[in-house]
Structure 1
């Protein structure tokens, strides 16, 4: 009997190995990027017992049905919006194209399919306490419509504060629309959502398979990583923060949590509402109410909102960074929790150093995902060898996604510097051209650098070979992280 069990186990292992070979061939022919195809193929050939199940869940690339369905839904949504006389401020934006920085935005505008819009106000919100205080204060003053979208929502103290506030506004006649990602909120209890729904909040989960007709109900790759709030079409918020106590420093291992959000006012809120409308229309086939106030308080910031996702005709998530880096003339400061760049972004950074620019990279010193941290560490040392100054933020986990170009252009959003944000996630990034706001971002990053430890070449040389081997294995699978 024992011999039969071993024989059966041998057959099973051989079957898994054979299926791994078939899956590796499938990956070579179907995965969209060369890096991802290589990573999947090698791992399936040599580690099928560990990677076959993840590939069946995450790696299946029969995404054409979804992409076509999403593009068709976006087209239907924009047709429905055509009657709203949307984007009434484009003429003002056309008049604001004089500077070299604003000219650079035109590339991003064509890439992101949104116009750069002038006369906005942008306020930097540093860390969760400040950001959520502003968000909650704006929602509490809502009179007509509140749009809320987050990747992660927890049923904890902060999550229940948001829930209570949305229910209070709905009870007072405000139309409240709440969209959360099904994967990011996998741990969110059903009763949290049900309580919102019973209280009059229109609430839905975003899922790639929501309307695409995909047979694969376990397809988890396409996640909506955007975080935005719009109140009455007058005040908007976006950035890196999700809804959970850890974003206020509630996780002792990662505390204090370092993050950045922005508050917006002005014509760019039309584009922010349009981004929400695309995702809401995908799930419901209905448009949420979109508000166009008669006027805004005067502002001086030129803004461009770039919404990126897997259904884009171009690889918007990656190319927006390449375009911004290539436009720099003096310096590039980048803050990201995950530095696992593709070849195009890494090449643009290396070429920027060769052009004589000051290139700085701010990364966390603590890991929230160990495999990603290991892969990121190897890229960090390679960046150091290329002449990029690399800093590790010391006080706690750094989660902000911020880019500073020269003295006038800054970007804040949800996109990380990794393959998932480049090609798989739905992301949202605000680019702004304004010396005063860029100066505020510079001061913030200078403070972050002062609390960081700069890496040096000697640290790389002292690294144990086993650590370096682990980093290389992590990098091997980095395109599928």
Structure 2
């Protein structure tokens, strides 16, 4: 739907909800505005826009993956398909073009889910005019969460989508789509999100925002684009939803490094909730904000309460987020149900028959409408973090001006909201519009259009009494204010650890030399032949005859850990040679010593060095419990998320308390070690001396091993395809 006309400032600023300096940063003019629903449309549009860039490309992201293919079936536009190679080729082909990619610099313990070595793939090995930097300019515990792309200061994208893995999908959300898979070919579940595309002065203002963020994060001043008026980068296949329109930019920026906090998005939501007459529509990944809950509760108790519709995923991504953010959401939902005396509030999830779990679509979008008078699309969740703690950016359109202008904007806002409802209800926007016209109600419209199959289901998020008792208030998992660094250091870092770490380049150079020497030794010496099961068993048997066998075996674990020998292989060898009792004791002692040594290596190298080497693969499993050291390490040890040595080095670089680290390692590794050495010992016995007794014992241990693995999988490995927020 395209709505055209002439914008006007005829109404006074006091009658407008949007007020710069209060609930938005700036209000600028745009020639065109379009809502892009789901990543297939957005990825195609952003690839076409990047390909058309001539002067500057800015990408601000929470996550980025150089391997992602924006057009899974192939763009066939003469450039490489993977994002990193595509950016490199585009920049290389345009002498005057510069690209700046800014990605959140996450806590190191989270580094196991994202792409490895992004600084190398998007910075070191790409064209010198393609600059990649990790954004760590935020308070401790905060994140850079904006998802902004700006092309030549003429075209910009803002919303909830990052250019990363597990995001691509079409609006059909077909459960068996062969194109919906990660870079490694692994399929992921259907995924719903929304991005806005805008041009004109709004795009130029977003270019200023991107440059400010780049300069704060890097200390470097990026170039200013030369605007070519005659050239139009707007993707030809995208029909704008609105033309000749004023668009506001609203932000969240926490107070940090002498800069005052900016809480425009929070104020925007509060002002809109207070002004709403008919309905408030939210499509959002999270719903945990106390402030938003209080504002909605106050409206729901009023006699003329507006309808409140929340569209959210049935479950938060993964068991851990379900046990934290899911519990917080259930609490907020319960409070709103108690306040809702008139039955005006409901929470929905879009259902997709054919999915294995809950049959509900993963909703990751951040869209909010007030009546037909306001719409905002951006990166901000309905969480305390997004309202006050993380960096966020939203675009906002308000229906105001002359009556004809206001009418066309209201029609466009209504149409965009109804497009989202129509997608979830498997119908057409016009049918939704007609139903709302008949019923005057969003809830009644859903009831009227609900059919078997793909639809929307009202649901009540619940939690167990055990989780309710365990999960603390919002301040822990969804904080409203930055964490004081001195307080955090005092609480979590030992006194003797509060000293400057070696300079990053010294650590990086030293480790690079060590790795290079190891690679040479692997290639030109018998080292690669030594590190195998047979040779390790032979070596272990030679240690068995020594008078100081326990010390020798345990120390060998530390040495093997430094050269990345898999710890599972060492444990297996120990069980074969030394039996289930002595083998288990040796393996536990060796594992703890190896963990201690490689933890010290990570502490010595420092966070920056390890970050450059490991790169941003955040582990959602650790993300929510990183500050609960013992539990974090137990979970990490029980799950095969990364090589043993890598986890240890990352933990050292993250300054997890040594006591918590070692105790968590002991608790997490011991059960697996005991089961493994027992199994391999009896396996070896059954092979050497086959008998009904040895085979029966082996079968019993195998059943125990399989049962334990199955139990852990059921407990910890609920499929979670998205990260985060």
TM-score (structure 2 length as normaliser): 0.47
Cα separation, partners in 2 of 1:152 and 1:403, compared to 1, 3 Å: same
Task: Tell me what 2:143 maps to.
Answer: 223
Find the aligned partners of 2:421 and 2:466 in 1 and give their Cα distance. 34
Find the aligned partners of 2:56 and 2:473 in 1 and give their Cα distance. 45
More displaced stretch, 110-119 vs 400-409: 110-119
Task: Tell me what 1:479 maps to.
Answer: 478
Cα separation, partners in 2 of 1:102 and 1:259, compared to 1, 3 Å: farther
Task: Tell me what 2:50 maps to.
Answer: 139
Query: Over residues 393-423 of structure 1, what are the superposed CA-to-partner deviations in whole Å (9 max), with x where a residue is unaligned?
Result: 3332110000011113100000111122122
How many angstroms does 1:257 deviate by?
0.5
SS at match of 1:230: strand
Matched, 1:383 2:318: no
Query: Over residues 279-313 of structure 1, what are the superposed CA-to-partner deviations in whole Å (9 max), with x where a residue is unaligned?
Result: 11112231431455558899332210012210244
Confirm or deny: 8 A CA contact 2:60 2:147 kept in the other structure: yes
Find the aligned partners of 2:246 and 2:390 in 1 and give their Cα distance. 26
Confirm or deny: 8 A CA contact 2:30 2:198 kept in the other structure: no
Query: Over residues 167-213 of structure 1, what are the superposed CA-to-partner deviations in whole Å (9 max), with x where a residue is unaligned?
Result: 1221122221221111189444142123554453122221127xxxx
Matched, 1:201 2:135: no
Matched, 1:117 2:46: no
SS at match of 1:442: helix
Matched, 1:165 2:86: yes
Q: Give 2:264's match in structure 1, choosing from 316, 319, 325.
A: 316
Matched, 1:175 2:98: yes
Find the aligned partners of 1:464 and 1:382 in 2 and give their Cα distance. 16
Confirm or deny: 8 A CA contact 1:226 1:428 kept in the other structure: yes
Find the aligned partners of 1:352 and 1:439 in 2 and give their Cα distance. 22
More displaced stretch, 359-368 vs 375-384: 375-384
Find the aligned partners of 1:194 and 1:293 in 2 and give their Cα distance. 28
Cα separation, partners in 2 of 1:315 and 1:325, compared to 1, 3 Å: same
Cα separation, partners in 2 of 1:113 and 1:410, compared to 1, 3 Å: closer
Number of residues of Structure 1 aligned to a counterpart in Structure 2: 372
Task: Tell me what 2:165 maps to.
Answer: 245
Q: Give 1:339's match in structure 2, choosing from 280, 287, 290.
A: 287
Confirm or deny: 8 A CA contact 1:352 1:359 kept in the other structure: no
SS at match of 1:105: coil
More displaced stretch, 187-196 vs 118-127: 187-196
Find the aligned partners of 1:364 and 1:339 in 2 and give their Cα distance. 10
Q: Give 2:349's match in structure 1, choosing from 392, 414, 420.
A: 392
Query: Over residues 339-373 of structure 1, what are the superposed CA-to-partner deviations in whole Å (9 max), with x where a residue is unaligned?
Result: 1112x321221233224211111110132122212
Find the aligned partners of 2:22 and 2:212 in 1 and give their Cα distance. 17
Find the aligned partners of 1:478 and 1:449 in 2 and give their Cα distance. 30
Find the aligned partners of 1:401 and 1:291 in 2 and give their Cα distance. 32
Confirm or deny: 8 A CA contact 2:122 2:132 kept in the other structure: yes
Cα separation, partners in 2 of 1:181 and 1:468, compared to 1, 3 Å: closer
Task: Tell me what 2:419 maps to.
Answer: 444
Cα separation, partners in 2 of 1:436 and 1:235, compared to 1, 3 Å: farther
Q: Give 1:307's match in structure 2, choosing from 251, 260, 270.
A: 251
Find the aligned partners of 1:397 and 1:289 in 2 and give their Cα distance. 38
Task: Tell me what 1:330 maps to.
Answer: 278
Query: Over residues 253-281 of structure 1, what are the superposed CA-to-partner deviations in whole Å (9 max), with x where a residue is unaligned?
Result: 96100100011112211221111011111
How many angstroms does 1:449 deviate by?
5.2
Unaligned runs of 5+ in 1: 1-91, 210-218
Confirm or deny: 8 A CA contact 1:227 1:239 kept in the other structure: yes
How many angstroms does 1:155 deviate by?
4.1
Cα separation, partners in 2 of 1:373 and 1:271, compared to 1, 3 Å: same
TM-score (structure 1 length as normaliser): 0.70
Confirm or deny: 8 A CA contact 1:155 1:192 kept in the other structure: yes
Cα separation, partners in 2 of 1:250 and 1:473, compared to 1, 3 Å: farther
Q: How does 1:396-415 map to 2 (within 5 A)?
A: 396-415=361-380
SS at match of 2:191: coil
Confirm or deny: 8 A CA contact 1:101 1:409 kept in the other structure: no
How many angstroms does 1:247 deviate by?
0.5
Cα separation, partners in 2 of 1:453 and 1:124, compared to 1, 3 Å: same
Find the aligned partners of 1:448 and 1:325 in 2 and give their Cα distance. 25
Cα separation, partners in 2 of 1:287 and 1:299, compared to 1, 3 Å: same
Query: Over residues 25-51 of structure 1, what are the superposed CA-to-partner deviations in whole Å (9 max), with x where a residue is unaligned?
Result: xxxxxxxxxxxxxxxxxxxxxxxxxxx
Find the aligned partners of 1:145 and 1:194 in 2 and give their Cα distance. 16
Task: Tell me what 2:206 maps to.
Answer: 272
Find the aligned partners of 2:376 and 2:295 in 1 and give their Cα distance. 17
Query: Over residues 96-141 of structure 1, what are the superposed CA-to-partner deviations in whole Å (9 max), with x where a residue is unaligned?
Result: 25288971111xx212563212344111111111110100011111
Matched, 1:288 2:263: no
Find the aligned partners of 2:125 and 2:38 in 1 and give their Cα distance. 27
CA RMSD, Structure 1 to Structure 2 (Å): 3.0
Task: Tell me what 2:73 maps to.
Answer: none
Task: Tell me what 1:77 maps to.
Answer: none
Q: Give 1:430's match in structure 2, choosing from 395, 406, 411.
A: 395
Find the aligned partners of 1:138 and 1:120 in 2 and give their Cα distance. 16
Query: Over residues 302-349 of structure 1, what are the superposed CA-to-partner deviations in whole Å (9 max), with x where a residue is unaligned?
Result: 21001221024453342232122223222110111111112x321221
SS at match of 1:180: strand
Find the aligned partners of 2:157 and 2:367 in 1 and give their Cα distance. 15
Find the aligned partners of 1:99 and 1:407 in 2 and give their Cα distance. 20
Cα separation, partners in 2 of 1:436 and 1:196, compared to 1, 3 Å: farther
